[in-house]
Amino acid sequence: MTAAGKPDGLREDFQEKAGRGTKRRKPVAKPFSIRLSDDERKMLLREAGKVSLASHIRRKLFGETASPRRGKRPSRKQQRPSTDKALLAQVLAALGRSELARSLQDIAKAARMGALPVTPELVDELHCACAEIRTMRDALMEALGIRPDDGQ
């Protein structure tokens, strides 16, 4: 009997039936917060790339010795383009705004009207320029993961 007047066996039986003491939950990692300046956070986000910010910081702190995360669910973080892809997109946009197509059309129009002397060398240079522009556009689109139109 215990001091409360209940038999010891009854208390142990209750704890066993209630699940206390028999099953242990895995310890849950405790969160830790840190204040960052805007510049520090931008730098870490840039370094992290497609990895979540928390995973990147853990990897920087602990290196390869960082313990694996429980559950290892896919990141809910929105995918944002890497710095390289953002720069490539800017270059592709600049190529689109450059009016190269309009300039080539003006040259072709002048040639049709007879205002531009058309020599075999000029024709070759124009074909070469068109091919180079198409190659640049296709390379940029491929680097960005955009499928170029086959009809152009």
pLDDT band of 38, cuts 50, 70, 90: very high
> Which positions ≥6 away from 13 have C-beta within 8 Å?
none
pLDDT band of 151, cuts 50, 70, 90: very low
pLDDT tens readout for residues 11-24: 666 666 666 555 56
The CA dihedral of 114, 117, 123, 126, to the nearest 10 degrees, is: -90
| Prediction pTM value | 0.37
The identity of residue 49, as a single letter, is: G
Give the pLDDT score at 152: 46
CA distance linking residue 75 with residue 39, whole number of Å: 24
Helix ranges restricted to H, the chain:
8-18, 38-48, 53-62, 83-97, 100-113, 120-144
Give the pLDDT score at 19: 60
pLDDT tens readout for residues 101-130: 788 888 888 888 888 888 888 888 888 888
Cβ distance 104 to 130 under 8 Å? yes
Which of the 8 DSSP states describes residue 81? -
pLDDT band of 99, cuts 50, 70, 90: confident
Calculate what percentage of the chain has a pLDDT beyond 90.
Answer: 4
Give the pLDDT score at 39: 92
